[in-house]
Amino acid sequence: MTRIPMAQPSWDDDMRKAALQTLDSLHWVKGPEGKAFGKEFSEYCGAVQGTPCQSGSVALWGALRLLGIGPGDEVLVPSLTYIATATCVSLVGATPVFVDVEPEYWCVDPASLEAKRTTNTKAVIAVHLFGQMSDDVIVDWCRQHDIAYIEDAAQAHGAVSTNGIKAGGVGDVACFSFFPSKNLAVGGEGGMMMTRRQDLAARMDALVNHGRDARLESHELGSNLRMSEVSAAIGRVQLQRLEGWLGRRRNIAARYHQAFSKLPGIELPEVRPGTEHAWHQYCLLAQEPDNLRSALDAADIDSRVYYATPCHRQEVYATHFQHDEIFPVTDSIAHRLVAVPIFHQMTDKQIERVIQAVVKASHQGE
Q: Which of 7, 77, 126, 127 binds ligand PLP (CB under 6 A)?
A: 127
Pick from 63, 154, 173, 342 the residue near ligand PLP by CB under 6 A. Answer: 154
DSSP 8-state code for residue 340: E
Contact 234, 180 (CB under 8 A): no
- In the shown chain, the binding pattern of residues 10 to 49 toward ligand PLP, with x for contact by CB under 6 A and - for none, equals ----------------------------------------
For ligand PLP, the closer of residues 57 and 134 by Cβ is 57
For CA atoms 349, 351, 353, 359, the dihedral sign is: negative
**Among 33, 152, 205, 276, contact with ligand PLP (rule: CB under 6 A):** 152
Does 334 bind ligand PLP (CB under 6 A)? Our answer is: no
Least distance between ligand PLP and beta carbon 152 (Å):
5
What residues from 179 to 208 belong to the interface with ligand PLP (CB under 6 A)? 179, 191
Number of residues that bind ligand PLP (CB under 6 A): 14
Q: Which is nearer to ligand PLP, 187 or 265 (CB)?
A: 187
Interface with ligand PLP includes 56 (CB under 6 A)? yes
Instruction: Answer for the pair 132, 108: CB distance below 8 angstroms, yes or no.
Output: no
For residue 61, state whether it binds ligand PLP (rule: CB under 6 A).
no
Q: Is 348 exposed, middle or buried (0-12, 13-18, 19+ CB in 10 A)?
A: exposed
What's 90-101 look like in SS3? HHCCCEEEEECE
Least distance (Å) between residue 179 CB and ligand PLP: 4
In whole angstroms, the minimum distance from the beta carbon of 263 to ligand PLP comes to 27
* In the complex, minimum distance from the CB of residue 154 to ligand PLP, in angstroms, rounded to a whole number: 3
Contacts of 280 (CB under 8 A, 6+ apart): 130, 131, 155, 156, 157, 182, 183
Residue 82 lies near ligand PLP (rule: CB under 6 A): yes
Q: At what angle do helices 229-260 and 13-25 cross, to 10 degrees?
A: 160
Decide: 344 and 245 in contact? Cβ < 8 Å. yes
Q: List all residues 6 or more positions away from 115 whose beta carbon is below 8 Å from its beta carbon.
A: none
Q: Which residues contact 144 (CB under 8 A, 6 or more apart)?
A: none
Residues in a beta bridge with 184: none
Cβ at position 343, least distance to ligand PLP in Å: 15
Residue nearest ligand PLP by beta-carbon distance: 56
Residues that bind ligand PLP (CB under 6 A): 55-57, 81-82, 84-85, 127, 152, 154-155, 177, 179, 191
